[in-house]
């Protein structure tokens, strides 16, 4: 009798990776890119995809030399020491918690605004956020396979709704909006201001240890899942940015209110069908990202506190993982764009600088170890990655100090 190969598929892993990246970050990108506009946006996206893919490979290179199930905490502890372990742990927790908060906020905004605008059903945002968080926390608690299966289904839904929304917007896209933006003529300066947002939007690196736990020691298969996840995400973002920037004048972004998600969805001039498709697309994006980021933080918390993988243990892990961002999302329903910017600051530490430093340390400590997998770029690339991470951090700090933000790009 032939044994059936039940190894997880590359498609499933790619969907988890893409689902982790596509979410609240996508909803904030048009606002974060309003200063540099379309041409620089495409360039920054390509650059970000390359660097973030390489850093994911660097994590994978180190991770494959440890037992499946080891998370960032374990990897950093044995390669960079306890000081960096603390810095990394704080950065990972901050980024994933702030992203889950953003997804809870984004879901509440999309659900409540859609119900009111399209069906005239009033539902407070805090209630929408609570229902969303409760339902999809249960999915992560159930199993990684459940996240895999649901993410795949939702990603198919995202393809369909994105196609429907973009098709509906094609007649509204104005080429001059993309290539001849209104306002002052400086663009490149704001590319630096956007780096933390794009870095966060292509960040799924907490899921890499989950992939090793899920797939086992299959470096080639995991690499393919990461690569295809990146490609899917890039295509989604490119379509999204083209549709939004091609239908909204650059000057209109000066009128962004406190509820940025609702403002963006209501600003687009589209037919009723395209508008509803766009809202479903936004909802699917937030859900898949919530599931992916939640899974990464869930596994990280379980490893950090050594919580058993039993129903009772998983419930405890789920409460630690999802309760804080849910509560904050209900109490503070605004400001997710600001939160994502700060997430980019700390993401530059644990998803860019730390992976490069770990690769450098591991290779120096194990110069003759047999290679199970090697990240792209050889000996030089980790140092280039560190420089990229430092530039992203400095850019965010300068934005905060000098207020070179998206919403005052005409000054």
Instruction: Tell whether 3 is covered by a domain.
Output: no
Instruction: Tell whether 101 is covered by a domain.
Output: yes
Instruction: Tell whether 284 is covered by a domain.
Output: yes
Instruction: Tell whether 40 is covered by a domain.
Output: yes
pLDDT for res 53: 96
Total domain count, the chain: 1
Instruction: Tell whether 5 is covered by a domain.
Output: no
Tell me how far apart the alpha carbons of residues 217 and 242 are, in angstroms, rounded to a whole number. Answer: 39
Would you say residue 408 has pLDDT above 60? Answer: no
Tell me the per-residue pLDDT of 34-65, one tens digit each, with 9 for 90 and over. Answer: 889 899 999 999 999 999 999 999 999 999 98
pTM: 0.81
Instruction: Tell whether 315 is covered by a domain.
Output: yes
What is the domain-level CATH number for residue 286?
Answer: 1.20.1740.10
Tell me how far apart the alpha carbons of residues 11 and 207 are, in angstroms, rounded to a whole number. Answer: 15
Q: Which residue has the higher pLDDT, 34 or 358?
A: 358
pLDDT for res 41: 93
User: How many Cβ atoms sit within 10 Å of the Cβ of residue 273?
Assistant: 12
Would you say residue 217 has pLDDT above 50? Answer: yes
Tell me the per-residue pLDDT of 266-280, one tens digit each, with 9 for 90 and over. Answer: 887 777 888 888 888
Confidence of residue 370 (pLDDT cuts 50, 70, 90): confident
CB-CB contact of 293 with 23 (8 Å) = yes
Instruction: Tell whether 345 is covered by a domain.
Output: yes
3-class DSSP assignment, residue 206: helix
Would you say residue 373 has pLDDT above 60? Answer: yes
pLDDT for res 350: 87
CB-CB contact of 348 with 393 (8 Å) = yes
Tell me how far apart the alpha carbons of residues 405 and 411 are, in angstroms, rounded to a whole number. Answer: 10
- Nearest CA among 48, 336, 339, 227 for reference residue 40: 48
pLDDT for res 3: 46
Residue-number span of the structural domain to which 216 is assigned: 10-366+376-407
Across the range 322-351, mean pLDDT stands at 85
Instruction: Tell whether 396 is covered by a domain.
Output: yes
pLDDT for res 409: 40
């Amino acid at each position: 009798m032939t044994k059936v190969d039940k190894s997880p598929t590359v498609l499933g892993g790619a969907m988890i990776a893409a689902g982790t990246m596509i979410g609240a970050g996508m909803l904030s990108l048009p606002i974060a890119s309003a200063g540099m506009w379309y041409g620089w946006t495409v360039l920054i996206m390509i650059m970000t995809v390359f660097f973030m893919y390489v850093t994911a490979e660097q994590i994978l290179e180190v991770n494959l030399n440890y037992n499946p199930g080891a998370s960032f905490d374990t990897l950093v502890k044995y390669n960079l020491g306890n000081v960096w372990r603390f810095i990394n742990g704080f950065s990972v927790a901050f980024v994933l918690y702030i992203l889950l908060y953003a997804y809870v906020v984004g879901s509440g905004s999309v659900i409540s605004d859609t119900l009111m605008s399209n069906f005239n059903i009033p539902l407070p945002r805090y209630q929408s956020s609570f229902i969303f968080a409760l339902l999809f926390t249960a999915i992560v608690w159930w199993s990684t396979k459940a996240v895999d299966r649901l993410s795949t289904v939702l990603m198919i839904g995202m393809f369909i709704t994105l196609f429907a929304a973009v098709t509906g917007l094609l007649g509204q896209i104005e080429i001059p909006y993309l290539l001849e933006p209104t306002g002052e003529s400086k663009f490149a300066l704001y590319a630096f201001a956007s780096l933390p947002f794009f870095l966060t939007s292509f960040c799924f690196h907490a899921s890499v240890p989950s992939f090793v736990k899920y797939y086992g020691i299959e470096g080639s298969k995991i690499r393919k899942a990461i690569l295809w996840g990146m490609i899917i995400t890039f295509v989604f973002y490119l379509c999204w940015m083209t549709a939004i920037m091609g239908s909204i004048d650059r000057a209109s972004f000066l009128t962004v209110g406190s509820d940025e998600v609702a403002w963006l969805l209501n600003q687009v001039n589209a037919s009723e069908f395209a508008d509803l498709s766009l809202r479903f697309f936004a909802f699917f994006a937030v859900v898949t990202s919530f599931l992916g980021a939640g899974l990464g933080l869930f596994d990280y918390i379980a490893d950090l506190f050594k919580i058993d993988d039993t129903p009772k243990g998983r419930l405890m892990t789920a409460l630690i993982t999802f309760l804080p961002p849910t509560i904050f999302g209900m109490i503070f329903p605004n400001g997710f764009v600001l939160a994502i910017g700060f997430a980019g600051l700390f993401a530059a530490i644990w998803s860019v600088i730390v992976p490069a430093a770990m690769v450098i340390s591991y290779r120096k400590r194990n110069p003759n170890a047999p290679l199970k997998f090697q990240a792209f770029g050889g000996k030089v690339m980790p140092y280039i990655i560190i420089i990229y991470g430092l530039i992203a951090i400095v850019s965010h700090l300068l934005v905060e100090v000098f207020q070179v933000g998206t919403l005052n790009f005409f000054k």
